[in-house]
Structure 1
Amino acid sequence: MKKLYSAILASTLVLGLSATSAVAHEHADHTTEDKIKAAMQADIRSDAEKERDRNRRPVETLAFFGLEHDMKIVELLPGGGWYTKLLVPTVAEHGEYYAAIGTGTVKRTLGGEPGFESMNIVAEDAELWREDGSRFYSMKLNSLGVSDVDMVLTFRNYHNFAEDGRAAMNKAAFEALKSGGIYAVVDHTARHMEPLNDSNRRRFDPVKAILEIQAAGFVLVDYSPIHYREDDELEYEVGTKSVRGNSDRWTLKFVKP
């Protein structure tokens, strides 16, 4: 009877700890989601930026990648700062945000804004250029200048680079991440193995992207159909009227072993 009582007590403790852990994890997820949603409503975002929320679905996208508000993260090539305005406030209190490569716009427009004091700019020495006759950028950089990172994210940038530029970006992301860290990549979809033409120059073959990123040492762990668009026939340039803002995009999650 004593042994039976001890077994029941042990089982109860395990179940209790599991339930507590589940509740804590649920609370953490809820907190992160709340922070993202609050950032989405901030005055610093323009009406045009908020209009894109419906299509870009940042809450669902960042949840798929596993973003938590206490992570140390790097955003590659932040461009005009659409995602920067969501990521910085989300991790400002308990995490760290770094913008890397092509950071001129966000440094100029967000660097002095309230709430963005915690934004870090790194890899400012990265060199970007286009070879004569090339449509795509090459890149040279020693490192991102930050290590032990939980997540590296890049949105609709992969297609902008020539093969050497993509390899440099993937290598830098791999070196910056800690073991188990996540590489989150989104881009416009091109048909598999379709020759380059004027219509697909801002699209990228997801199979080719997977192979290249795996070659850099990453493991593909998941993909999401969140940005699949059945009515994008992958025929037209992503800036054309019939496709703009509604392109089919691949959403891939990799991990550093």
Structure 2
Amino acid sequence: MKRLAALSIALTCLVGFSSSHANVEDKLKSAMSSDLRTQAEVERDRNRKPVETLSFFGIKDDMKVVELIPGGGWYTKLLVPLLAENGAYYGAIGTTRIENSLSDAPGFERMNVLAKNANLFREEGSRFYSLELGSLGIDDADMVLTFRNYHNFGDQGRAAMNKAAFDALKPGGIYGVVDHTARHMEPMTPSNRRRFDPVKAIKEIQDAGFVLVDYSTLHYKEDDELEYEVGARSVSGNTDRWTLKFIKPE
């Protein structure tokens, strides 16, 4: 009887997980078909694989999710509809573009914006950004995500971003980071300046207090030789990217 009870509980949990996963996938696919998205954004779906990527990070529609440096809002347009009913979306740092383009869009009235006063800047002569900010103003987020932003920062900026993510998460919260791959320990050149060494990223993010729990080969591209700048014609839209999942310890 005990074995049957345990099996029943396990099956119930499995069915619940499958149902939740299907619900997230359905909501994301619905958001992907929205008229709000441009044709250029739609064309990137095949390469960026948003459903698979967000599923890998373990997103659920009732989470509090922070997106660091959302840029033009490619992921914002998917995350806000996913979380609008049961969860909460927070865009943080460099949010001017999504505020200007999405704040008045139907269904985006629940989009929250944090760290409006964060100082994102480049020192004279530097290729990389620095970042000055206090708290994001949230400390119970379930997940913090940032996509292809890590390479844009110098040492100080990356440390500030990682600290902001750590402080915003509740214990057990997930930090998901995706970026273009550079060869391990390869000296910086004009061709790799928008790439980042994943081994170095892991060390830095672990130094911020996180624990690496998983990685994905979703965005592995065998034919990207890691030789050319990510905007070069031969690799644009087809860059090899690392996809890393960290957790804030309990």
Question: Do both share a fold (TM > 0.5)?
Answer: yes
Structure 1 residue 132, shift from structure 2 partner: 1.8
- 1:24-75 Cα offsets, whole Å, 9 max, x none, are 1110111011111110001100111111000000010001000111100000
- Residue 23 of structure 1 aligns to a residue whose secondary structure is helix
Q: How many residues align?
A: 249
Instruction: Output the amino acid matched with 1:153.
Output: L
- Residue 197 of structure 1 aligns to a residue whose secondary structure is coil
Match of 1:72 in 2: 64
Q: How does 1:176-215 map to 2 (within 5 A)?
A: 176-215=168-207
Q: How does 1:85-164 map to 2 (within 5 A)?
A: 85-164=77-156
Q: CA–CA distance in 1 between the matches of 2:223 and 2:22? A: 33
Match of 1:4 in 2: none
Q: CA–CA distance in 1 between the matches of 2:96 and 2:138? A: 18
Match of 1:165 in 2: 157
Taking structure 2 as the reference length, the TM-score comes to 0.98
- 1:77-97 Cα offsets, whole Å, 9 max, x none, are 000000000000001100000
Structure 1 residue 144, shift from structure 2 partner: 1.1
Instruction: Output the amino acid matched with 1:152.
Output: V
- Residue 75 of structure 1 aligns to a residue whose secondary structure is strand
Larger Rg: 1
Match of 2:216 in 1: 224
Structure 1 residue 14, shift from structure 2 partner: 2.5
Match of 1:12 in 2: 4
- 1:161-186 Cα offsets, whole Å, 9 max, x none, are 01000000000000000111000000
Structure 1 residue 36 corresponds to structure 2 residue 28: yes
Match of 1:3 in 2: none
Q: CA–CA distance in 2 between the matches of 1:161 and 1:134? A: 10
Gapped regions of structure 1 (runs ≥ 5): 1-7
- 1:3-41 Cα offsets, whole Å, 9 max, x none, are xxxxx2x33332222211211111011101111111000
- Residue 175 of structure 2 aligns to a residue whose secondary structure is strand
Q: CA–CA distance in 1 between the matches of 2:239 and 2:16? A: 37
Structure 1 residue 22 corresponds to structure 2 residue 11: no
Q: CA–CA distance in 2 between the matches of 1:106 and 1:91? A: 16
Instruction: Output the amino acid matched with 1:247.
Output: T
Instruction: Output the amino acid matched with 1:238.
Output: V
- Residue 241 of structure 1 aligns to a residue whose secondary structure is coil
Q: Indicate the RMSD between aligned Cα atoms, in angstroms.
A: 0.7
Gapped regions of structure 2 (runs ≥ 5): none
Q: CA–CA distance in 2 between the matches of 1:207 and 1:13? A: 45
- Specify which of 50, 60, 85 is matched with residue 58 of structure 1: 50
Taking structure 1 as the reference length, the TM-score comes to 0.95
- Residue 213 of structure 1 aligns to a residue whose secondary structure is helix
Structure 1 residue 255 corresponds to structure 2 residue 225: no
**Paired-residue identity, %:** 67
